[in-house]
Amino acid sequence: MKPGWYFRSVFCLLSLCLVFSGQVSAEPVVTVTGLVKQHQRLALEDLANYRSVTVRTTEVGRGGAFHGVYRYQECC
């Protein structure tokens, strides 16, 4: 027996366990966690239902120095 055979077998077995247990998702998702009230798991289809938003911000430093006006917009 070759030395690497055992480790390859264990790796393949664990990979199959993940696939059949539903741990591996075929569809990409965005997970929102952290300091939010409700954690969210959003699929691409869910994100397509949201409308785009444009945000305009004026950045001023602590000493009152003007840094600029910036506009952030979701791309297509």
What string of H, E and C letters represents the secondary structure of the chain? CCCCHHHHHHHHHHHHHHHHHCCCCCCCEEEECCCCCCCEEEEHHHHHCCCCCEEEEEEECCCCCEEEEEEEECCC
Each residue's pLDDT tens digit, 6-61:
666 666 666 666 555 555 556 788 888 888 889 988 888 888 888 888 888 999 98
Q: Indicate the number of domains in the chain.
A: 1
* pLDDT given at position 52: 80
pLDDT of residue 3: 57
Range of the domain at 53: 5-73
